[in-house]
Amino acid sequence: MKIGFYATGSGTSTHVDLLRQIEYADETGFDSAWLRERHFHPDHQGRNFFTSPLVAASYIAARTKRIRIGIASRILPLDHPIHIAEDGATVDVISDGRLDLGIARVGENELYQLAFGVTTEETRGRFEEAVEILIKAWTLPQFSYHGNYYSIPDISVYPKPVQKPHPPIYLVGISSGTFKFGATRGFPLILAGAQPVAIVKRTQEEYYRLLSDHGFPAREIELPVNRFLYVAESNQQAIDETREALNTFIHRGATAIRDFLFRAPEEITPEWLYEEVCIFGDPDTCVKKINDLKQAIDLRHIICTFNYFTIDHERCRKSMERFVKYVLPYVR
């Protein structure tokens, strides 16, 4: 099983802290590190996420040796696809072929689209056209494109990525339209951290069926699964140190992330999240929960979230270090 690190922010982290964690992940055997595109969040003055994940990815490429660098995800309708193609190919070149590009149609809330001058209604068309342009820019020596949203004269886009035919493209989303679009192209799907096991299993089975219907060898396509982890010295310590983080998640303002739970707001409690979503506890408990998860779903690549908005970064870092020392050797 592959092990990934989802580099989100903690209660006191800086961008440099997150980048140092990725270097630590590279040194200790993680297979992938993932960055998310976020905008307009006042939490900790924007230190918790990367507004320009491909810029950060270039730095990571220069500072690491082997870890794959994932974007989960780049919101395609918010930028011109030629920019994304050029930036992504540059990262792939600098990293010697280590880029994984996750793509999404919309941001966490409608403000993303409004601020960039895109209506939510047109995001589907922009997203699908952008994917076509992205692949053409990466794979063809010269091309033109004329769609409903983008019109591109005959051009050559450079650099070309190291990976052939192009870096892996992953989908991030939960809508049936996104699933159908991805399955027709054989794209892997990244499963969200904020999903109970039963929903993850159902989503995997549905997506594998769609892939098969479109002629792809479904079981050969890896679907990474994001999970919330917190490794403490005892189970009680894990509960005590994460309860505020879970309550903040439950009661924060409108966010598409909670939609991934497929559950009425009043039914989402810390106790339910501990049981159904989170891998929190002492090392033995976390080992058991991960190995149980491997039996319940197709888990070939787990992306671990260790950092939480309300928890001091030193505690999050200690949790990650306990994972490396006491959990990682027993779950691969």
Residue 207 and residue 183 in contact, taking contact as beta carbons nearer than 8 Å: yes
Q: Please give the helix or strand (H or E) that residue 68 lies within, else none.
A: strand 68-75
pLDDT at 35: 96
Task: Give the pLDDT confidence of 218-266 residue by residue, as tens digits.
Answer: 989 999 999 999 999 999 999 999 999 999 888 776 555 666 677 887 8
Report the chain's terminal Cα–Cα distance, integer Å: 5
**pLDDT tier at 69 (50, 70, 90 boundaries)?**
very high
Name the CATH topology of 39-188.
TIM Barrel (3.20.20)
pLDDT at 255: 56
CATH superfamily of 1-30+223-332: Luciferase-like domain (3.20.20.30)
Question: How many whole angstroms separate alpha carbon 217 and alpha carbon 188?
Answer: 11
**pLDDT tier at 167 (50, 70, 90 boundaries)?**
very high
* Global pTM exceeds 0.85: yes
pLDDT at 257: 60
Q: How large is the average pLDDT for residues 199-220?
A: 95
**pLDDT tier at 275 (50, 70, 90 boundaries)?**
very high
**pLDDT tier at 267 (50, 70, 90 boundaries)?**
confident
pLDDT at 256: 54
Residue 36 and residue 65 in contact, taking contact as beta carbons nearer than 8 Å: no
- Residue 43 predicted with pLDDT over 60: yes
Q: How large is the average pLDDT for residues 59-73?
A: 97
Q: Exposed e or buried b for every residue in 314-327, given b needs 16+ CB within 10 A?
A: ebbbbbbebbbeeb
pLDDT at 253: 61
pLDDT at 48: 65
Q: How large is the average pLDDT for residues 14-28?
A: 96
Q: Please give the helix or strand (H or E) that residue 244 lies within, else none.
A: helix 235-251
| Region(s) of the chain under CATH 3.20.20.30 | 1-30+223-332, 39-188
Cα angle value 176/80/129 (rounded, 5°): 40
pLDDT at 204: 96
